[in-house]
Amino acid sequence: MSTVESARSRWRAVPGVLATLVTIVCGAILADHLILQAEWWQVNRTVTHAPRPQLADLGPPPGPVTMSWQLSTPVGDSELPAYDRVAYAIMNGELVVVSGHGLTVRDARTGRERWHYYRGQWSLLGWARTGQVLIAYLERTGHRGKRLMVGLDAVSGTLLWRQRGDLPAATERTTLRWPAGGGVVIVTEDGRHTLYGRSATSGRRLWSKRLAHGCLLPEAVPYGSGSSETLAAFRLDCGARDRTLTLDPRTGRTLFVTNAAHAAVSVDGDVTAVFDGFGLYAYDRRGHAFLIRKGEDVCREMCPIGVTGGHLLVAYDLTGRPEDGMATRRLESVEIASGAMSWRRDMSGYTALSVAGGLLYGLRSRLADPLLPAGIDVIDPETGDGTTVPAPLVMRPGLDGVRPWLAAGGGLLYVAVPTARPRPYGGARLVALRGGVRGTGPPELAGVPAHDWPDACALLSKQDLPPGYSEVSSSAHVEGLRVPAGCTYRQRSRRERGASAVSAGPEREASTLSVTVQWVAADPSSAAALFWAARDTLSGVRDPVSAGDAAYGLGVPSGTVVMRVGRTIVTVTAGLSSTAKHLATLIAARLRTGS
């Protein structure tokens, strides 16, 4: 073959090679679009076509509450543990449950699932809501550059739109939520120097807003952003002069800007609250600071707030005399228009507030120390008068996974708290509460008369204890009521009891023993529910113990026994597990016989 013919042959082969290359490239693109990015194999999604009626703006009346239904949600295990959270919202008669696994929407009246959106090998790292739309932000596991934002109809679960490339505008890490309102979801891009407003129903970009020079949005901070249907607020990192930006989400128009370094931000209605570590400031829509409370201890991270009837309700700490370190926790009602205080009341401290049906609901981490249940206050926001009742759940400090949450609607009160179970990462427990039966006793004790409580110091006799111990009783105080909940046995000094009275066994194991009556429920079933709820919040639970109707040990070694006998929950603490178990058995027998 001549050189010319060889060249011609090679040139004739070029179109075939190009065609092959085009086919391969197009095939790769189609494979990426139809397979790698396809919904059909990555998404586990259900929809519904049966809308639910709106929940009435109404919670349970003042008085005892009982459980209507409950739900446990495990905390996920992702490559980004800071985002392994559970969050909730009530909208359109539905309960929205958010976790790293995805979105689940349930009937708020019954807890039954209505629809869900899960995406395999992707983690949900943010969510927003406005109107009847939920927006979810997901990232591919192991590939943070691969991200996806979807808009979903909150009633049916129908997919409205998808968008690749956007980032949430300042996700609140403790809830995974980011701002949306007025039918617009607010997003940003990689540089975090610009805000964009997208239509929540179509995903179409409506407006853009460049941040001030030198300022950018943080990726995620606790209490770093907030929104309502009428405004959105963001903490901005601006170097030496950090700022808080508040804007109208519908148009992107700036409402006001404040200077606040490392601020926590919260929004309710047209009120923006900012805590900068040195004081709490509350602003109306015009940017007027109608409330200022100075002090580093005014809030922990952010004071719980609620807005109703033209008033801001805020729970905060007031530092007392600095020389003795006294502090008072207080709930205040402040008129937004004038900044005048309407009323104030001292309280035990709230972890969440919610307003519904002309009532304010406040969640206490504990009814009273050392009692087991959490507490709920039902308060008239016009006068500050209220009722305190126990909740059939337990809150423990140090647990993570869900921020304590409270909402009301349809005559129910929804409460969520963190739990240590399921292992190994914990979870969130949500209970839906309705009004309960009023007993013969005070509502503060779930209708149980105070005289039904056993005296903790009467549960053991001197013959039950090692020699040389003296008892000290203590009481729990609930809104003016007193119950003899605790008894501590302290070993007297060797000189007090005489050298010949030294006992070789139990005295070496513990210088202090204690018995605590942590709750007396209205009936055994209510006590059992609280008993197991308490166990789920503990990480040091050991093997079951043969005492009472149910019991378990705590600690290493298990020097503490928690048990239920009928409707009474008692904790016994000693130095050795054998001593604690022995004393628990004696107490159980005494409670059963009533002697």
Q: What residues contact 206, with CB distance under 8 A and at least 6 apart?
A: 184, 197, 198, 199, 252
pLDDT exceeds cutoff 60 at 558: yes
Residue 102 in any domain: the answer is yes
* Cα distances (Å, whole numbers) of residue 280 to 232, 260, 593: 18, 11, 55
User: Could you list the residue range(s) of the whole structural domain that residue 574 is in?
Assistant: 450-593
Token pair, residue 591, equals 């409670």
Cα 269 to Cα 231: distance, rounded to the nearest angstrom: 8
* Cα distances (Å, whole numbers) of residue 349 to 225, 292, 399: 23, 19, 18
Query: Is 283 found in the same domain as 230?
Result: yes
Residue 138 in any domain: the answer is yes
Q: What residues contact 33, with CB distance under 8 A and at least 6 apart?
A: none
**Residue 500: what pLDDT?**
42
Among the candidates 436, 462, 481, a domain finishes at: 436
Strands 184-188 and 167-168: antiparallel
Element (H, E) at 408: strand 405-409
**Residue 167: what pLDDT?**
95
Cα 514 to Cα 488: distance, rounded to the nearest angstrom: 4
Query: Is 535 found in the same domain as 472?
Result: yes
Give, as one character, the DSSP assignment of residue 49. -
Question: Tens digit of pLDDT for each residue in 58-96?
Answer: 999 999 999 999 999 999 877 778 788 999 999 989 999
pLDDT exceeds cutoff 90 at 161: yes
Q: What residues contact 448, with CB distance under 8 A and at least 6 apart?
A: 439, 441, 520, 521, 522
| Mean pLDDT of the region 142-146 | 81
Residue 1 in any domain: the answer is no
Query: Is 408 found in the same domain as 466?
Result: no
Per-residue pLDDT band for 21 (boundaries 50, 70, 90) equals: low
Question: Tens digit of pLDDT for each residue in 495-543?
Answer: 555 544 444 444 454 678 999 999 999 999 999 999 999 999 998 787 7
**Residue 348: what pLDDT?**
74
Query: Is 234 found in the same domain as 383?
Result: yes
Which residues in 4-121 belong to E strands, given as ranges?
A: 43-46, 65-74, 87-91, 94-99, 102-107, 113-119
Query: Is 244 found in the same domain as 289?
Result: yes
CATH code: domain of residue 492:
3.40.1000
pLDDT exceeds cutoff 70 at 570: yes
**Residue 496: what pLDDT?**
52
Question: Tens digit of pLDDT for each residue in 222-264?
Answer: 888 889 999 999 999 998 788 999 999 999 999 999 998 889 9
**Residue 507: what pLDDT?**
42
Question: Tens digit of pLDDT for each residue in 363-416?
Answer: 999 999 999 999 999 999 999 999 999 999 999 988 988 999 999 999 999 999
% of the chain exceeding 70 in pLDDT = 87
Instruction: Classify residue 463 by burial, with Cβ atoms within 10 Å: 0-12, 13-18, 19+.
Output: exposed
**Residue 503: what pLDDT?**
45
Question: Tens digit of pLDDT for each residue in 40-53?
Answer: 446 888 999 888 88
Q: What residues contact 525, with CB distance under 8 A and at least 6 apart?
A: none
Cα 205 to Cα 203: distance, rounded to the nearest angstrom: 6
CATH code: domain of residue 223:
2.130.10.10
**Residue 177: what pLDDT?**
95
Q: What is the phi-psi region of residue 204: left when phi exceeds 0, alpha when psi lies from -120 to 50, beta otherwise?
A: beta
CA 515 to chain centre: 31
Cα 219 to Cα 171: distance, rounded to the nearest angstrom: 6
Query: Is 454 found in the same domain as 424?
Result: no
Among the candidates 436, 468, 498, a domain finishes at: 436
Query: Is 176 found in the same domain as 97?
Result: yes
Query: Is 483 found in the same domain as 407?
Result: no
Q: Is 36 helix (H, G, I), strand (E, B) or coil?
A: helix
Q: Is 67:433 a contact under the CB 8 Å cutoff?
A: yes
**Residue 20: what pLDDT?**
61
| Mean pLDDT of the region 264-282 | 94
**Residue 9: what pLDDT?**
60
* Cα distances (Å, whole numbers) of residue 582 to 289, 485, 548, 562, 592: 61, 20, 12, 13, 16
Omega of the bond leading into 557 within 30 degrees of 0 (cis): yes
**Residue 51: what pLDDT?**
81
Q: Is 435 helix (H, G, I), strand (E, B) or coil?
A: strand
Does the CA dihedral 237-241-242-244 come out positive or negative? negative
Query: Is 498 found in the same domain as 425?
Result: no
Q: Which residues of 474-483 are buried (b: 16+ CB within 10 A; e: fewer)?
A: eebebbebeb
Q: What is the phi-psi region of residue 46: left when phi exceeds 0, alpha when psi lies from -120 to 50, beta otherwise?
A: beta
- Which of 103, 214, 227 lies closest to 168, judged by CA? 227
% of the chain exceeding 90 in pLDDT = 67
Query: Is 568 found in the same domain as 527?
Result: yes
Question: Tens digit of pLDDT for each residue in 287-316?
Answer: 999 999 998 889 988 999 999 999 999 998
Does the CA dihedral 365-371-375-377 come out positive or negative? negative
pLDDT exceeds cutoff 60 at 192: yes
Cα 545 to Cα 584: distance, rounded to the nearest angstrom: 9
Token pair, residue 316, equals 């905060």
Which residues in 404-498 belong to E strands, given as ranges?
A: 405-409, 412-419, 427-435, 469-478, 481-491
The residue among 14 and 557 whose pLDDT is bigger is 557
**Residue 199: what pLDDT?**
98
Q: What residues contact 37, with CB distance under 8 A and at least 6 apart?
A: none
**Residue 211: what pLDDT?**
96
Residue 148 in any domain: the answer is yes
Residue 438 φ then ψ, to 5°: -80, 125
**Residue 321: what pLDDT?**
39
Query: Is 160 found in the same domain as 188?
Result: yes
CA 486 to chain centre: 30
Residue 14 in any domain: the answer is no
Cα 127 to Cα 258: distance, rounded to the nearest angstrom: 26
Mean of all residue pLDDT scores within the chain: 87
**Residue 544: what pLDDT?**
87
Strands 184-188 and 232-236: unpaired
Query: How many C-beta atoms lie closer than 10 Å to residue 4's C-beta?
Result: 8
Cα 158 to Cα 533: distance, rounded to the nearest angstrom: 36
- Which of 431, 434, 436, 458 lies closest to 446, judged by CA? 436
Lowest mean pLDDT among 22-31, 125-134, 275-284, 400-409: 22-31
Residue 5 in any domain: the answer is no
pTM: 0.88
Question: Tens digit of pLDDT for each residue in 414-451?
Answer: 999 999 988 888 999 999 999 998 889 999 999 999 99
Domain count, the chain: 2
Among the candidates 385, 411, 436, a domain finishes at: 436
Query: Is 391 found in the same domain as 487?
Result: no
Per-residue pLDDT band for 480 (boundaries 50, 70, 90) equals: confident
Element (H, E) at 313: strand 311-319
**Residue 499: what pLDDT?**
46
Cα 542 to Cα 164: distance, rounded to the nearest angstrom: 48
